[in-house]
Structure 1
Amino acid sequence: MLRLIICALWSFFAMVFSCPLHFHFKRLIKKDPMKGWTTAYKYVRGFFKKLIFLTGSKIEVRGQENIPKNGAVLFVGNHRSWFDIIIVQTLTNRPMGFISKKEFENAPLLSPYMKDIGCIYIDRENPREAIKTISKGIEQMKTGLSLGLYPEGTRNHGDELLPFKEGGYKMAERSKSPIVIVTMTGTDDIFENNKFHFIKKSRVLVDFSKPVYPSELSVQEKKEFYASIPEHITEKYAELKSERNK
């Protein structure tokens, strides 16, 4: 209970008192998008690091060396918790937005920060708007901004993956950027799995795969690679969960 109160109060006051920064970030993004996103990312990353510290959680990472040092990357992962996004943002060491549900576009306090780091919103019920979102993501990645994509489309509360929506992979393909698969376990034990949604410390395991460039694959190879992503995550998730339970 105490951790929940501390995390909630700290997050609320941190977001409220930093509101003036949004005007600064907005000006920078207008002049130089990449510079603006980078500046905002550094601030948000620091915010997320403090929040993770307040939860008392331990983060163990595999394959961080697989993340390319330069250029945009499409990080594709499983989605079990709000903390998936928070933790990945602290580990990639690069300006990074993510693909979010349309419903969060006007979320109080939260949405300005999402816009500052280059998040884009997708309306899965409107195919035409979804295509526009993918096109925007392609342009942002061409500029150098990395993006996080959760193809399940929503948080998953079971061990089996939800059906993957593959349309977002085109952002990597058409921007000639790599895909790095991110598999996580233990994030939902920080918040979602707890009675009354209390905050509890958790041991979180994260795995980054080696990068794959879809633009360098044949049509058949791309098809096979995209189809293999859920299988890769399922296998890694089982492996990480087994290690975590030792």
Structure 2
Amino acid sequence: MTFYSFARSVVAGFLKPLYRIEVIGLEYFPKDGGVLLCTNHIHNFDPLVVGATAPRPVHFMAKEEIFNVPVLGNIVRRCNAFPVKRGKGDRESLRAGLKVLKDGNVFGLFPEGTRSKTGEIGKGLSGAGFFALRTEADVVPCAIIGPYKSLGKLKVVYGKPIAMEEMRAAKASAEQVTELIMSEIDKLIKEHQ
């Protein structure tokens, strides 16, 4: 058993009963190949919830400061995360994200870049569109719905992969592609609230 698998089972064993997590749409999740998994961001636990419910290991960007915290930094790194310098054009993290996708793995991204204080979906940053356009990865929208309340009900909804062929053929901008991704996430939220 890998460290990731062990950590995933521990996190799932704690979070799933605490928040009564219901997972919808796993049948849409590609079984292999690169996947850009784009999710709304409402809580600090979102990466843990996505990692515990996704059917394949997920790689995340995490703010650089986390990797400098003793013990935590090592755990986060062993759980497939890599650092990003926020607020700057961090070419190294962009290359790392592209490599995850080109190697046929799952790259989890929160296009909004930060948590929504209101729970409402925000405007996505162009990074999601950048990764979608630069690779042949499947783009899977994901919605986390509900308040994080003990013994409440939290839904994690995986949507059908978004067809990107037309966007790539039309030479759409990263911003346009991100808008499409965010609209698909929003549709999932409205459909499953």
Instruction: Give the shorter-chain TM-score range.
Output: 0.7 to 0.9
Matched, 1:146 2:101: no
Look up the equivalent residue of 1:85 and give its one-letter code.
P
Look up the equivalent residue of 2:22 and give its one-letter code.
E
Relative to structure 1, the CA distance from residue 111 to residue 162 in structure 2 (aligned partners, 3 Å threshold; closer, same or farther) is: same
Q: Which residue of 2 aligns with 1:78?
A: 40
Q: Which residue of 2 aligns with 1:101?
A: 63
Relative to structure 1, the CA distance from residue 66 to residue 101 in structure 2 (aligned partners, 3 Å threshold; closer, same or farther) is: same
Relative to structure 1, the CA distance from residue 147 to residue 212 in structure 2 (aligned partners, 3 Å threshold; closer, same or farther) is: same
TM-score (norm 1): 0.69
Question: In structure 2, what is the Cα distance between the partners aligned to 1:168 and 1:102?
Answer: 19
Look up the equivalent residue of 2:35 and give its one-letter code.
V
Superposition deviation, residue 53 in structure 1: 4.4
Structure 1: which 5+ runs fail to align?
1-37, 191-199, 242-246
Q: How does 1:137-216 map to 2 (within 5 A)?
A: 137-186=97-146, 188-190=147-149, 200-212=150-162, 214=164
Question: In structure 2, what is the Cα distance between the partners aligned to 1:143 and 1:53?
Answer: 30
Superposition deviation, residue 207 in structure 1: 1.3
Overall identity of the aligned pairs, in %: 26
Q: How many residues get paired?
A: 191
Question: Residue 74 of structure 1 contacts residue 171 of structure 1 at CA under 8 Å; is this kept in 2?
Answer: yes
Q: How does 1:7-46 map to 2 (within 5 A)?
A: 39-46=2-9
Q: Which residue of 1 aligns with 2:170?
A: 219
Q: Which residue of 1 aligns with 2:85?
A: 123
Give a deviation string over 1:5-53, Cα, whole Å, max 9, x none: xxxxxxxxxxxxxxxxxxxxxxxxxxxxxxxxx8232112112112214
Superposition deviation, residue 206 in structure 1: 1.6
Question: Residue 12 of structure 2 contacts residue 52 of structure 2 at CA under 8 Å; is this kept in 1?
Answer: yes
Superposition deviation, residue 239 in structure 1: 3.1
Question: In structure 2, what is the Cα distance between the partners aligned to 1:231 and 1:117?
Answer: 29
SS in 1 for 2:48: helix
SS in 2 for 1:158: coil
Q: CA RMSD in A?
A: 2.3
Question: Whose helix proportion is higher, 1 or 2?
Answer: 1
Superposition deviation, residue 172 in structure 1: 3.9
Q: Which residue of 2 aligns with 1:49?
A: 12
Larger RCO (CA within 8 A; separation ≥ 6): 2
Look up the equivalent residue of 2:184 and give its one-letter code.
H
Q: Which has the larger radius of gyration?
A: 1
Q: Which residue of 1 aligns with 2:186?
A: 234
SS in 2 for 1:189: coil
Superposition deviation, residue 231 in structure 1: 2.2
Structure 2: which 5+ runs fail to align?
none
Question: Residue 75 of structure 1 contacts residue 149 of structure 1 at CA under 8 Å; is this kept in 2?
Answer: yes
Give a deviation string over 1:80-127, Cα, whole Å, max 9, x none: 112221121122221211122222222343221221132122223222
Relative to structure 1, the CA distance from residue 114 to residue 152 in structure 2 (aligned partners, 3 Å threshold; closer, same or farther) is: same
